Structure 1
Amino acid sequence: MIRGVRAVVALLAVVLTAAGCGFVDAMAHPEEQTTQPSSAAPVTAAPTTAPPGPVTIVSTDLTGGGPGGLHLDVTVDPVRTGLVPPFPEFSDGCPVSGPSLQYVAVNFSLSGNPGDYWGLAAHLTVTPGAATPGDIGDVGVFFGPSPGHDVYCTDYPPLPTSDRFWEQGMQHVVTGYVVLDQAVTAATPQGRAEVFPTLQARIDHLRVKDGQTLVERELHVTAVRTGTQCPDDPDAFCLPL
């Protein structure tokens, strides 16, 4: 019996020796062998947001302006805060100040071959929509100055909600400005950028003019890629800004 016990002890010694120190440590400190989840948070890349660019609200083909077809794109730029439209005649005529303002630029771009009738003309009207809050102050619409059209806010208050333009240069792009005059307040220090998409725009009286005779030709909407035609005028657009 004693020999049997000695044999078992000898065999155990051989096993421990073969297993090495790791096995001995595991037997001595079993609690240290439990796998613990890492406390380090996973590393994730910071999200990147591209700066907002212009949004196309109208893209359409037009006829009636000359021997070739025409194409009109209307885009809306990102909101600008605390600034006035970038032409001095606005500040000279309109008794509103930059710090409280927000505006978006609305760009009209005509391409194609209008022949002799190269000057795009149109009207833009912007009014509050059903979802527009009632505490936004005035909404104003302004195009840059042109001969005979360089005095603003003659009937203020309120700001005018409609303006017209005639592009008499060769750049074929005209920019108007839709203004909120009480966007930045103590309650809304960042402005009211969310209001602009609730405003309703009407673009009508699309035409081209002869630069010398001032004779006009109406433009007719054909293939509409982007935008909604007005129910009362298929050659006009009625849509959210």
Structure 2
Amino acid sequence: MVAVLGGVLLTSSGCGFLDDLADPEAREPAATSAPTTSPSSPPPLAPPAPAFEPGVVAQAALIADGRSIGTLRVATGAVQTGLVLPFPEFDEDCPVEGPSMQYVAVGFSFTLQAEGGLAGHLTVAPGPSTPADIGEVGVFFEPSYGNDEYCTDGPRLPDTDTFWARGTTSVTGYVVLDDAVGPATPQGRTEVFATLQAQVSDLRLRDDDGEETPLTLGPPSVGVVCPDDEGAFCVPLG
């Protein structure tokens, strides 16, 4: 007979053993000629796997014309300090220097049961508790075909960038603090990321001919939909 009590797996050949556990005084202990050694407790069972991997901040169905056509999951990475973004176009086109930077990667993974690719925007703005002296905040997506141009609107970093994921089920954006590391903050300003307001919006299905179908979001299983836009996620960055 096998039973589980108090989180420990118990095995016995008869029910009297379990009755004794329920009522310790029901039986006198059997006499023994020598002390016995209690068997060692079994190792604790591993905790159940989490429903989602650490870092997932949003997940919901993608809805087109009232029906679900896939899912979208958004995850954030750890803050990276003193590094430029991991593609050369950024360093070549933008007025930034790696030693002063911090960034957080924002990963999008999705499934689609429709022709075309997923397109959308990632926008970041200072929140009510964001310090006024953080410098510029920029948003960039990895290049789609290795020939994208960055920082085309002048010296300021863009606070919105757009993606169109074709032939793939994932894409990565980056939120950048340009002047995070300095004499007064040699370790950077990691705490600032949690104060920023990030929004994933303008989601749409886009085909190779440029035809677009607007998408909304189903009830999220992780995260929250923005209160003023049922087709947008408001996501934390820290």
Q: Same fold (TM over 0.5)?
A: yes
> Higher helix share goes to which structure?
1
Q: Deviations over 1:14-57 (max 9, x none)?
A: xxxxxxxxxxxxxxxxxxxxxxxxxxxxxxxxxxxxxxx85222
Instruction: State the SS of the aligned residue for 1:60.
Output: strand
Q: Matched residues in 2 for 1:90 and 1:235: separation?
A: 29
Instruction: State the SS of the aligned residue for 1:141.
Output: strand
Q: Over alpha carbons, which structure has the higher Rg?
A: 1
TM-score by length of 2: 0.72
1:114 corresponds in structure 2 to 113
Q: Deviations over 1:54-92 (max 9, x none)?
A: 522211111218986311110000000100111111011
Determine whether 1:165 maps to 2:163. yes
Amino acid at match of 1:89: E
Structure 2 CA distance for partners of 1:67 and 1:225, relative to 1, 3 Å:
closer
Query: Aligned-pair RMSD on alpha carbons?
Result: 2.1
Q: Deviations over 1:133-161 (max 9, x none)?
A: 11111000000123597111122332110
Instruction: State the SS of the aligned residue for 1:62.
Output: strand
Percent same amino acid among aligned pairs? 54
Structure 2 CA distance for partners of 1:216 and 1:82, relative to 1, 3 Å:
same
1:154 corresponds in structure 2 to 152
Runs of 4+ that moved beyond 2 A: 65-69, 146-149, 238-241
1:126 corresponds in structure 2 to 124
2:140 corresponds in structure 1 to 142
2:37 corresponds in structure 1 to none
Instruction: State the SS of the aligned residue for 2:172.
Output: strand
Deviation of 1:215 (Å) = 1.5
1:221 corresponds in structure 2 to 217
Q: Matched residues in 1 for 2:173 and 2:147: separation?
A: 13
Deviation of 1:169 (Å) = 2.3
Amino acid at match of 2:231: D
2:178 corresponds in structure 1 to 181
Deviation of 1:132 (Å) = 0.9
| Structure 1 gaps, min length 5 | 1-52
Structure 2 CA distance for partners of 1:115 and 1:132, relative to 1, 3 Å:
same
| Structure 2 gaps, min length 5 | 1-52
